[in-house]
Amino acid sequence: MQIYLNENLSAYHTFGIEQHCQVLVIVNTVAELIDVYRRPEWESLPKLMLGKGSNVLFTEFYEGVVIVNRLQGIDVREDSDHYFLHVQGGEDWPELVKWSISQQMPGLENLAMIPGCAGSAPIQNIGAYGVEFQDVCEYVDYLCLNTFQVIRLNRAECLFGYRDSIFKHQLYQQAVVVGIGLKLAREWQPHREYGPLQQLASDCSPTEIFECICDVRTRKLPNPELTGNAGSFFKNPVLSGEQFQSLKAHYPDVVSYPTPQGVKVAAGWLIDQCGLKGFQIGGAAIHAQQALVLINKEDATASDVIQLAEHVYRCVYEKYGVALEHEVRFIGRHREVYLSMLIKEQQS
């Protein structure tokens, strides 16, 4: 375990914005994680579990303990039908996908290059190109912060939804994901229904899908090591059939996808059609190639990003009547906060 006081967080989240925390702890085992929560000197402080920091924005000094997940290890077993992977929560997700393809264990290729660690994947139910984490999940292991016992939930018990899970609701701030179980079918079927994957042959290989997605992401999305960002900043809104038909009547070219919950509209298209690509407030800007990504262009502050996010929200709502919800987590002084709360504070 490594402990740092008043640590600069810029190196621990992909936005790369300078912000500090009261205590930062790097943990390598579940035992160390339990120790952090049980330490008397930190008992009254709020705590935040951080993986790769690829989905967070620290809005101000965090008066608490930031815990960096460095739990490592991958175990594999197999039977005649499936590969079963048990992955520790601190493993890097993009590297896991790359490794699984190299080991000829397909199934994760559509989720290539989604930044973050394995422990964050079920919380957000990450997804891309027609595949979500829930499609490959067998179970999730979490540390219960009430009993300090590791509990296993099967896929159904995780209550997965679009960018959603039980960890955002019933188990919010009561659980830390320490491991995941993946179930990959040997009898592999390609998922190539979205975007550039439609151009691939029906008998394409997992490697072809993986390489296609990596190529698209490399060309369209900024590398956080070079340009600070947290990936897709807003969720794709899901509209009711009635809402969507009303929108489509006015904007017939709207990009959308049917889902069991309604019609998913591409947030990037909405933002792009507002003419916001490249728009900048302070040091924060909307990426010139991908309107869904907000970037740290010129030493942005958290305030710059928040003001830009608010501007995007207002533009989309005023033009389309669609309220965007941010996918990136905002971390305030003591707890998670939301753009709607910050807007109200500014108005009061």
Confidence label for 324 from pLDDT (cuts 50, 70 and 90): very high
pLDDT band per the 50, 70, 90 thresholds, residue 346: low
Do residues 146 and 242 share a domain? no
Strand order in the sheet with 137-144: 74-78, 82-88, 175-185, 137-144, 150-154
Do 37 and 157 belong together in one domain? no
Domain boundary among 10, 44, 69: 69
248 and 297 in a common domain: yes
Are both 300 and 238 inside the same structural domain? yes
> Is 327 tagged catalytic?
yes
From 63, 211, 327, 336, the catalytic residue: 327
pLDDT band at 261 (very low <50, low <70, confident <90, very high): confident
Lowest mean pLDDT among 88-97, 283-292, 333-342: 333-342
CATH code at position 14: 3.30.43.10
| Domain count across the chain | 3
Give the pLDDT confidence score for residue 348 in this predicted structure: 60
In angstroms, rounded to a whole number, what is the distance separating the alpha carbons of residues 71 and 93? 13
65 strand-pairing partners: 23, 47
Catalytic residue list contains 246 = no
CATH number at residue 288: 3.90.78.10
Whole-number average pLDDT of the chain: 95
The predicted-structure confidence for 46-88, as pLDDT tens digits, reads as follows 999 999 999 999 999 999 999 999 999 999 999 999 999 999 9
78 and 188 together in one domain: yes
User: Which residues form the domain of 316?
Assistant: 225-347
Closest to 212 (Cα-Cα) out of 224, 222, 204 = 204
Q: Considering 163, 165, 192, 217, which one is annotated as catalytic?
A: 163
pLDDT, residue 168, reads: 95
Candidates 257, 121, 244; CA nearest to 193 is 257
232 flagged as catalytic = yes
Domain containing 115 — which CATH number? Answer: 3.30.465.10
Domain boundary among 17, 42, 69: 69
The Cα 228–Cα 284 span in angstroms is 10
Q: Check whether residue 245 and residue 136 sit in a common domain.
A: no
On whether the CB atoms of residues 55 and 116 are closer than 8 A, the answer is: yes
Out of 59-63, 97-101, 221-225, 331-335, least confident range: 221-225
| Burial category of 167 from C-beta neighbours within 10 Å (exposed 0-12, middle 13-18, buried 19 and up) | buried
Q: Same domain for 83 and 56? A: no
* pLDDT per residue as tens digits for the range 147-157: 999 999 999 99
Model pLDDT, residue 334 = 94
**Residues 193-245 pLDDT 10s:** 888 899 999 889 999 999 999 999 998 889 998 999 998 999 999 999 999 99
pLDDT level of residue 347 (50, 70, 90 thresholds)? low
Q: Count other C-beta atoms under 10 Å from residue 152's C-beta.
A: 12
Q: Is 36 helix (H, G, I), strand (E, B) or coil?
A: helix
Residues 179, 280: one domain?
Answer: no
Which among 319, 312, 283, 321 is positioned nearest to 16, based on CA atoms?
283
What pLDDT was estimated at residue 18? 94
**Residue 107 has what pLDDT?**
97
Residues 184 and 241 in one domain: no
Among residues 54, 100, 165, 232, the one annotated as catalytic is: 232
State how far the alpha carbon of 344 is from the alpha carbons of 56, 61, 310, 326, 348, in Å.
21, 20, 11, 16, 6
> What is the C-alpha to C-alpha distance for residues 262 and 112, in angstroms, rounded to an integer?
26
- Out of 171, 194, 216, pick the residue that ends a domain: 216
Look at phi and psi of residue 291 and say left if phi exceeds 0, alpha if psi is from -120 to 50, else beta.
Answer: alpha
Residue 242 and residue 339 in one domain? yes
Asked if residues 297 and 284 have their Cβ atoms less than 8 Å apart, the reply is: yes
Residues 102 and 152 in one domain: yes
Percent of the chain with pLDDT over 70: 99
- Which of 21, 89, 23 lies closest to 51, judged by CA? 89
pLDDT, one tens digit per residue, over 118-148 is: 999 999 999 999 999 999 999 999 999 999 9
Same domain, 89 and 205: yes
